Chain A
Amino acid sequence: DAGITQSPRHKVTETGTPVTLRCHQTENHRYMYWYRQDPGHGLRLIHYSYGVKDTDKGEVSDGYSVSRSKTEDFLLTLESATSSQTSVYFCAISESIRPGDAGANVLTFGAGSRLTVL
């Protein structure tokens, strides 16, 4: 168990308001990710982090920002939420199962945060 906790698990907000989702992990994993899940699209990467203060954009990063001030916490912020950002958001960590092979890793996911923007 990678000890991933997402909060809040459910949130309803209004268009134009800021929203922050939190991902907390307890096992010191270097890589952390935020995905969104939408019907017909599977999961799409929003942003990821490869260390404290080290982050980069994913496939669908517009409208989102992230921060990682501590190894254990990875925050996803919607500065001004829009209805198109209604989705289920998943945090994940990456665990290497073959040292020295950057691709030989598997993702472990949190339980998800369901966000509804009215």
Chain B
Amino acid sequence: AQSVTQPDIHITVSEGASLELRCNYSYGATPYLFWYVQSPGQGLQLLLKYFSGDTLVQGIKGFEAEFKRSQSSFNLRKPSVHWSDAAEYFCAVGENNNDMRFGAGTRLTVKP
């Protein structure tokens, strides 16, 4: 069965530091991959997606993610974190409209 693992429940980084959030998946084929962000009390907003092609994808708010097939990973990165990036981040994988699986989420805290 497909699954998504986000190994880090909570990460704290200093403002201006780089960020990497990890996501590993278990899937029979190459799935479609997503990162969503959720600010407190809000719904989820799509940051970026990978369907095919270039394995390094750019998203909104300066985020990028790299698909590594050999490692079954789709890690999210940002070179310099801003205080407004504090939120919860969810990795998701799916094959079709009705088969989207989400990770448990990583909560990001940004220190001044």
Q: Report the minimum CB–CB distance from B94 to chain A (whole Å).
A: 6
Question: How far apart are the CA atoms of A65 and B16 in the complex, in Å?
Answer: 47
Chain A residue at minimum C-beta to C-beta distance from B4: A42
- A66-104 Cβ-contact flags toward B at 8 Å (1 or 0): 000000000000000000000000100010001001111
Set of chain B residues within 8 Å of A90, measured between Cβ atoms = 43-44
Question: How far apart are the CA atoms of A107 and B31 in the complex, in Å?
Answer: 15
Q: Quick check: is B17 within 8 A (CB to CB) of the other chain?
A: no
Interface range, A side: 20 to 34
Interface residue from B45, B92, B98, B104 paired with A48 (Cβ < 8 Å):
B98
Given A98-B51, A103-B32, A104-B51, also A42-B103 (CB < 8 A): yes
Q: Is the CB of A41 within 8 A of B104?
A: yes
Q: Quick check: is A111 within 8 A (CB to CB) of the other chain?
A: yes
Set of chain A residues within 8 Å of B63, measured between Cβ atoms = none
Given A42-B102, A42-B105, A98-B51, also A108-B94 (CB < 8 A): no
Q: Quick check: is A64 within 8 A (CB to CB) of the other chain?
A: no
Q: Quick check: is A43 within 8 A (CB to CB) of the other chain?
A: yes
Q: Is the CB of B102 within 8 A of A31?
A: no
Q: Is the CB of B90 within 8 A of A42?
A: yes
Question: How far apart are the CA atoms of A110 and B38 in the complex, in Å?
Answer: 11
Residues of A within 8 A of B (CB): 31, 40-45, 48, 50, 56, 58, 90, 94, 98, 101-112
